Amino acid sequence: MDRGRKSPRGISGGLEWFSLPLLLLTWQILAVVVDHRLFPTPIEVVGELWYLATERSLLEDVFKTLTRAAIAFVVAMGAGIVLGGIFGRFRAADQLFGSWVLIGLNIPAIVVAITCYIWLGLTEFALILAVVINKAPLVTVTMREGVRALDHGYGELARVYRVPFWRRVRRFVVPQLMPYVLTAARTGLSLIWKIVLVFEVLGSDGGVGFRIGIFFQNFDIAGILAYTMAFMTVVILIEYAVMRQLEAKVLGWRPAFLSA
């Protein structure tokens, strides 16, 4: 292959850097065409973002929402991984509680939030519990399928060579399950952000969703978009700085594991 010619993968990777600028350019053009106070330009929103960050409580609200989302994410992932492992390993448990997981997957999030708020009050615990109840079933299902897909041939080989139990788990089980954990984490994060914001609108003492609810009452679209832009900036940083790095590490494990 000609070394001076870029591979299609390299070209597509370069195009990724133009994605967000293209989005902003499209937004700017549409705002100019519409020319209405309820459709601000990106420049106006950035100006509003700077004002809210320096003069108001934007940073405090973003931190509060991220804290709630992080706690709910850790708890939901931990519970889902444990339950998924049990249901994937023990068919009787899956048959007994499978309907519970199905109900958890399909019950509307708004119903869970309202019920938790009525039972427990407008508290941090009620909000986080509602998010966990909505998120944990998805992790459980993903991990259940991962446990069922385990290649038990490696386990038998390890037992033949008398590999210690925890080393078998670390060398043979965990590498096979990590893609499923990563999938559950990625889809879970995308859902948790949205659920936390909706629950904050329903009832909380601060946070991005709470503030967006106030902006909505005042028809302040610039404030809504400014808070959204701030929160999306954090989410994008997490995606590129954490999730993609972890994904690359997971994909790097698999060939080494399969060739061992």
- Can you spell out the DSSP letters for 91-152? HHHHHHHHHHHHHHHHS-HHHHHHHHHHHH-S-HHHHHHHHHHHHHHHHHHHHHHHHHT--H
Domain boundaries, the chain: 10-36, 40-258
Count of Cβ atoms closer than 10 Å to residue 52 Cβ: 20
Give the pLDDT means over successive 10-residue stretches in the chain (260 positions).
52 70 88 86 89 85 91 93 91 90 89 90 90 92 87 66 67 78 85 86 84 89 90 85 78 49
Would you mind telling me the total number of residues written for the chain in this entry? 260
Nearest to 141 by CA among 189, 96, 85, 72: 85
Distance CA 65, CA 83 (A): 27
Structure tokens at 164: 């210690």
Distance CA 131, CA 196 (A): 7
Do 236 and 62 touch, CB atoms closer than 8 A?
no
For 45, residues 6+ apart whose C-beta sits below 8 A from its C-beta are 222, 225, 226, 229
Which of the 8 DSSP states describes residue 57? S
Distance CA 202, CA 209 (A): 9
72: left (phi over 0), alpha (psi -120 to 50) or beta: alpha
Nearest to 113 by CA among 125, 97, 99: 125
Distance CA 221, CA 25 (A): 19
Structure tokens at 46: 């950035």
pLDDT at 260: 41
pLDDT at 160: 66
CATH node for 40-258:
1.10.3720.10
Judged by DSSP in three states, 29 sits in helix
Distance CA 258, CA 154 (A): 10
Do 135 and 76 touch, CB atoms closer than 8 A?
yes
Do 202 and 130 touch, CB atoms closer than 8 A?
no
